[in-house]
Amino acid sequence: MAQKPGKVVVAPLKWDDEVEHRRKLALAVNNALDGKINAVITVTLATEALSTTIVDDRIIPTTSLALAPLTPSAQAMVGAGLSIVPTVGSATLYHRQSAIPDLTYKVSFLG
């Protein structure tokens, strides 16, 4: 099961109104300084499967991915052999097969 996040919003490279362009750039920089870098997605592990794939163009083999469980069931899975392997444009989360439907995480990625 592949999950793809919504479109990434970035600061525009060009804008007809220079004042508005500077405002948009400043907003993007200030958001980044506040930790709002749009590098967090929500993923629910596929039920009755041994892996779940995240599809995102920002992921490359050297991307560092971190999971934050959002449910008690998801927390229990963290200590049960959950691992992540990033590739170009996607990452595969390997996990135990489970029928539990609420294995949901925030996944943040850098690099």
Q: Residue ranges per domain, the chain?
A: 6-38, 39-111
pTM of the full predicted structure? 0.74
* Contacts for 58 with CB less than 8 Å, ≥ 6 apart: 8, 39, 109
Q: pLDDT tens, 6-38?
A: 444 577 888 899 998 998 888 888 888 888 888
The residue among 88, 105, 16 whose CA lies nearest residue 52 is 105
pLDDT of 45 = 92
Residues of the chain where predicted confidence (pLDDT) is lower than 50: 1-8
The residue among 8, 72, 69, 79 whose CA lies nearest residue 44 is 69
Q: Which two tokens stand for residue 76?
A: 């229990």
Location of structure tokens 């508005």 = 20
pLDDT of 1 = 43
Q: Which two tokens stand for residue 23?
A: 């405002």
Task: Measure the N-to-C terminal CA separation of the chain; round to a whole number of Å.
Answer: 24
pLDDT of 6 = 41
